[in-house]
């Protein structure tokens, strides 16, 4: 492998590993944990999920998001600006990059601070927890929705050469 090929190949590998961790946990939250919490609350077993599972899942979730974005930026390399400014030859992956950036923002600004209130890591009143649940749910669902076009533009390689 030529030296010039090593960085994009390594960045792509890390981007895939971290991305699978991030989006896999996002789908776990939306398809498994959130629906299960209703049943667990009903039979009094929700505390175990809130105490032992959710904090660990959120730890891997939010840091995998950061690593995914950084590896994606490294993969774009000199094409970072052309992608984010939607220059025609990089517009497809640029749309994906913008979607990923919005999702990273949602993780750190909308989901994580509200989950800290929900899980009791930050003090919050019952009203504040109820509001935090709603905001965190909608932000998480928004990311699930955005992941669908994100993966489309990554997978199809529309308008851009494989970088």
Partner 1 sequence: MAECLWEDNMKNPLDSITGTIVSGLILTLVLYMFLKNFILAGV
Binding residues for partner 1, rule: CB under 8 A, are 30-31, 86, 88, 91-92, 95, 137-138, 141-142, 144-149, 152-153, 158-159
Which positions ≥6 away from 21 have C-beta within 8 Å? Answer: 60, 61, 64, 68
Q: Which is nearer to partner 1, 33 or 63 (CB)?
A: 33
Q: Which is nearer to partner 1, 11 or 57 (CB)?
A: 57
Instruction: Report, in Å, the least distance between residue 33 CB and partner 1.
Output: 13
Instruction: Report, in Å, the least distance between residue 71 CB and partner 1.
Output: 23
Radius of gyration of the chain (CA): 18
For residue 74, the Cα-to-chain-centroid distance in whole angstroms is: 17
Q: Which is nearer to partner 1, 8 or 82 (CB)?
A: 82
Sign of CA dihedral 126, 135, 18, 4: negative
Instruction: Report, in Å, the least distance between residue 145 CB and partner 1.
Output: 4
Helix (H, G, I), strand (E, B) or coil at 157: coil
Instruction: Report, in Å, the least distance between residue 52 CB and partner 1.
Output: 25
Angle between helices 3-28 and 54-76 (to 10 degrees): 150
Q: Which is nearer to partner 1, 76 or 93 (CB)?
A: 93
Q: In this structure, are residues 146 and 110 in contact, taking their beta carbons and an 8 Å threshold?
A: no
Instruction: Report, in Å, the least distance between residue 11 CB and partner 1.
Output: 24
Half-sphere exposure (CA, 13 Å, Cβ side) for 140?
A: 26
Q: Which is nearer to partner 1, 63 or 98 (CB)?
A: 98
């Amino acid at each position: 492998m030529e030296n010039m090929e090593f960085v994009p190949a390594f960045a792509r590998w890390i981007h895939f590993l971290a991305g699978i961790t991030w989006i896999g946990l996002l789908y776990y939250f939306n398809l498994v944990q959130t629906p299960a919490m209703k049943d667990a609350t009903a039979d009094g077993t929700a505390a175990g999920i809130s105490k032992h599972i959710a904090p660990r899942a959120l730890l891997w979730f939010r840091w995998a998001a950061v690593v995914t974005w950084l590896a994606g930026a490294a993969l774009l390399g000199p094409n970072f600006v052309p992608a984010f400014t939607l220059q025609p030859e990089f517009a497809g992956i640029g749309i994906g990059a913008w979607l990923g950036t919005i999702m990273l923002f949602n993780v750190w600004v909308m989901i994580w601070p509200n989950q800290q209130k929900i899980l009791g890591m930050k003090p919050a009143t019952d009203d504040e927890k109820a509001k935090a649940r709603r905001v965190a749910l909608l932000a998480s669902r928004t990311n699930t929705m955005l992941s669908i076009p994100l993966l489309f533009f990554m997978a199809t390689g529309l308008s851009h050469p494989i970088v």
